[in-house]
Structure 1
Amino acid sequence: MQDMTHVRSRVLLEKQVDADARVDAPHLPWRSPIATTTGLRSLDAAMPSDRAVWLRRWRATGREPFAHPVLGELFADEGDRVVAIISDAGVLLPLRLRPIPGALGMLDATGPYGFGGAYRPQGSAGRQPEFWTAFATWAQRHQVVTAFARMHPFADDVVAPPTAALVDRSVTVVRSVLADDDAVLADADRKVRKNVRRAVADGVQVHVTTSADGFEDFARIYASTMERREAGAAYRFDDAFFERIHRELDGSFAYAYATLDGVVVSAELVLHSDRHAYSFLGGTDAAAYASRPNELLKLAVVRWCRERGIADYVLGGGAAPGDGIERYKRAFAPAGVRPFRTLELVLDPDEEARLSHGCAQGSFPAYRGATGAAAVLGGRA
């Protein structure tokens, strides 16, 4: 693991801008495809015709939830554009393009909340390194200074970026569903087995549903958990946020509930594709901790995945490497720890160096960190 206080991966991809590149819709420069030279096209989620193409490409990925435009839109700030870069080979790269305060006309790109990267169509093969060279050309034409994404934990599902652009940040815990519940528990830490027995003995009941009926129980548990943890505004969501997930990711979400004496005491929103499920948001009533409902809830999610042919349940990691949240998740899948990497591309080194001059180097891009001009002028990184 690299020292995160000093690490900074920079890569300058090949500068190739063909004079014959076709540019459409000049009033929306981030939409302009470079179809004739790179095989790339950009889609704007706000335009119905583009969105329809995006959704077709999304379905081809196996309905990966983080490749859907809604997970860019729900986290977009004012002035952001939610876009996808697509290739002739079916690759889909979801991004938010953000104006950089203090740098007129300049943009940077960030991936969706959760996991990002250049998603392949389901079942496709080949490394396709030319995608990232083509993306660099597109970015340079449209004044995109840097690009950042939290990389998807399953490398075969995305086009591999240049190795120099990947930074090890922490870990992501993945629970394989295995053959049955007994195999899962045998593969988990002893304390997980003990806690599952405690939950069963105390009468905890669990169920998983693909309906939004009963959402108010999830909302109550999640809100109380965020309050107890003194979470910032970025982790608190109104009902409209969840209503959009219910509407636009219908068929790609589920709720898991654990009840004690008829009352929901632990709940989780799970997003899923055809192959993977992701623990997205959740919480537990502190008054029910002694009955250990969350371990039994997670076992129910694994069972639900197995019954639907979903191979893996991604638990994620902690807020910081090695923290209590990470250790809790590791206990459920000690052999399922995968690297958590970020994509950190510098596409315009001169402009990035100017913007980052004097900034602390602990985050990427540095100019959006706590000491950067973009954070000060924009109010939010």
Structure 2
Amino acid sequence: MFDLAEKESWYKFIKNAENQDIYFTPEYFEIYERNGEGKAKLFVYDNGKDFVYYPFLLRNLHNLTILKEISSKYRELYDITTPYGYGGPITSAKEEAIKKKIFIEFEEIFESYCLRENIITEFVRFHPLILNHQDYKHIESTLNRHTIYIDLSLDSEEIWANYDNKNRNRLRKAQANNYFTMVHRSPSDLEDFLRLYYKTMDKKNAYEYYYFQRDFFENSAELLKDHLELIEVVMDDKVIMSCFFMHYGDFIHYHLLGSDEDYLHFSPNNSLIHYVVEWGKAKGKKALHLGGGYTGDIDTLYRFKKRFNKYGDLPFYIGKKIHNQAIYDELVKDLPVPDNYFPLYRHPDLATPILSNNK
């Protein structure tokens, strides 16, 4: 087991993993540890030939006010989760038979660890580009929604052909009229981004969680360094859209965005994504991952992203596991919330604050 004081150990394994991405780096986890969402931990099962690499956030249940009375009966109780984005376990094994065998070994060892350490539940946001839900069988996986990606290994003409007609027409109009200039900013140059981001969150009536504070973005810029790109769309000398993209290994991720709604009828987001397609191809990247919709496969955001690749659907799975059913049942008994959230004791309607001193 490793923590953030042992980053070199994280990278010793990352560089030999079959799939590499920003979401598995210790720096990405440190952003969320600093944000008070848990302690970054890395569990590695190594059989001498291959390994399974599983980073997660370890959260102390004693910090949840609603559980104080029950949890005080026990020694420390924990749960584990993937931070915002994607994750789950990955491996160095390439052949399917070897991969299956090492995951069986890993799952047995990891289950023993969870029971020993009083980890009550586990929640995983699996990685749509890696499809690692197919490997981790010891957890209940369900399809949450689809996400969209653009295959940057294709020729530019093929990528363009996979855009829908409406998207291509908007891009042609923007290019013909020279509407936009794309500007790369230092990720620490946050003024325009924050102004637009918070306006966008207000417009979308976003959950409180997504109102990340300034230090969240400052930490992202500090920790992700050259793997974080801040690109702004400028029109009439005004920044009308600002977006963070993360890139690592073969992948680019459309991360967090703010926009000025007064200019959205010019379709700046279409031009921004098309620009990043060309930029990513020039950098030798293999995929631009756009993510999914706000709520699923029918909302406006999903339909917008789908315009960039009619063949680009990827399944996004989440995993849920209760490691200690008896204690879990005790924790959730009589909670005044609908039983549609996991783990139920972290339902947002309970208004249980995340404290920054998780142990």
TM-score normalized by the length of structure 1: 0.79
Query: What is the CA-CA distance between 1:178 and the residue it aligns to?
Result: 4.4
Q: Check whether the contact 2:57–2:83 (CA below 8 A) recurs between aligned residues.
A: yes
CA distance in 1, matches of 2:93, 2:176: 42
**What are the Cα deviations for residues 256-313 of structure 1, in whole angstroms up to 9, with x where unaligned?**
2222123222221011121111111012211211211110110111111111221111
From the superposition, tell whether residues 140 and 323 of structure 1 become closer, same or farther in structure 2 (CA, over 3 Å): same
**Match for 1:54 among 7, 10, 16?**
10
**Match for 1:81 among 31, 34, 39?**
39
CA distance in 2, matches of 1:366, 1:157: 25
Q: Is residue 110 of structure 2 the alignment partner of residue 135 of structure 1?
A: yes
Q: Is residue 19 of structure 2 the alignment partner of residue 43 of structure 1?
A: no
Alignment of 1:225-374 (within 5 A): 225-321=200-296, 322-359=298-335, 360-370=338-348
> 1:167 corresponds to which residue?
142
Q: Check whether the contact 1:206–1:300 (CA below 8 A) recurs between aligned residues.
A: no
Which shifted more, 297-306 or 69-78? Answer: 69-78
> Which amino acid letter does the alignment assign opposite residue 229 of structure 2?
A
CA distance in 2, matches of 1:69, 1:160: 22
Q: Check whether the contact 1:208–1:254 (CA below 8 A) recurs between aligned residues.
A: no
> Which amino acid letter does the alignment assign opposite residue 231 of structure 2?
A
Query: What is the CA-CA distance between 1:358 and the residue it aligns to?
Result: 4.1
What 5-or-longer segments of structure 2 have no aligned partner? Answer: 62-66
Which shifted more, 59-68 or 306-315? Answer: 59-68
Q: Check whether the contact 1:84–1:94 (CA below 8 A) recurs between aligned residues.
A: yes
3-state SS in 1 of match to 2:226: coil
From the superposition, tell whether residues 122 and 328 of structure 1 become closer, same or farther in structure 2 (CA, over 3 Å): farther
Alignment of 1:178-257 (within 5 A): 178-207=153-182, 209=184, 211-212=186-187, 214-257=189-232
> Which amino acid letter does the alignment assign opposite residue 303 of structure 2?
R
CA distance in 2, matches of 1:141, 1:98: 15
**What are the Cα deviations for residues 29-65 of structure 1, in whole angstroms up to 9, with x where unaligned?**
xxxxxxxxxxxxx1122xx2x2332244344446521
**Higher relative contact order by CA 8 Å / sep ≥ 6: 1 or 2?**
2
What 5-or-longer segments of structure 1 have no aligned partner? Answer: 1-41
**What are the Cα deviations for residues 150-201 of structure 1, in whole angstroms up to 9, with x where unaligned?**
1001236677111751011111111112434432221011111122122223
From the superposition, tell whether residues 185 and 79 of structure 1 become closer, same or farther in structure 2 (CA, over 3 Å): closer
> Which amino acid letter does the alignment assign opposite residue 238 of structure 1?
Q
Q: Check whether the contact 2:194–2:258 (CA below 8 A) recurs between aligned residues.
A: no
CA-atom RMSD, angstroms?
Answer: 2.7
**What are the Cα deviations for residues 110-164 of structure 1, in whole angstroms up to 9, with x where unaligned?**
1121001012349787422222222111111101111101100123667711175
Larger helix proportion of the pair: 2
CA distance in 2, matches of 1:219, 1:108: 32
Q: Check whether the contact 1:119–1:158 (CA below 8 A) recurs between aligned residues.
A: no
CA distance in 2, matches of 1:202, 1:257: 18
Aligned length: 333
CA distance in 1, matches of 2:39, 2:279: 36
